[in-house]
Amino acid sequence: AVYLSWAEEIATAHAEAAGYGREWSERRGGGWVIRRTEITYHQPAVYGDEVELTVTVELVKGARGVRRTAIRRAPDRVLLAEVLTEWVWVRLTDGRPTQVPRELVDLAAAATAATIARRRPGPRAGPPAQTRG
Predicted model pTM: 0.76
Q: Which helix (H) or strand (E) holds 102?
A: helix 102-113
In a domain, 114, yes or no: yes
Q: What pLDDT band is residue 131 in, cutting at 50, 70 and 90?
A: very low
pLDDT, mean of residues 88-96: 97
Task: Report how far residue 111's alpha carbon sits from residue 11's, in angstroms, rounded to the nearest whole number.
Answer: 11
DSSP 3-state percent helix, strand, coil across the chain (nearest 5)? 25, 40, 35
In a domain, 129, yes or no: no
129: Cβ contacts below 8 Å, ≥ 6 apart: none
In a domain, 77, yes or no: yes
Tens-digit pLDDT profile for residues 53-66: 998 888 888 999 99
pLDDT, mean of residues 103-108: 80
106 against 75, higher pLDDT: 75
In a domain, 126, yes or no: no
In a domain, 82, yes or no: yes
- As for how many domains the chain has, the answer is 1
Which domain range does residue 38 map to? 2-121
In a domain, 127, yes or no: no
Residue 105, strand partner residues: none
Tens-digit pLDDT profile for residues 5-37: 989 998 888 888 888 889 999 999 999 999 999
Tens-digit pLDDT profile for residues 32-83: 999 999 999 999 988 888 999 998 888 888 999 999 999 999 989 999 999 9
In a domain, 10, yes or no: yes
In a domain, 20, yes or no: yes
Task: Report how far residue 92's alpha carbon sits from residue 109's, in angstroms, rounded to the nearest whole number.
Answer: 24
**Which CATH number is 97's domain given?**
3.10.129.10
Q: What pLDDT band is residue 90 in, cutting at 50, 70 and 90?
A: very high
pLDDT given at position 53: 92
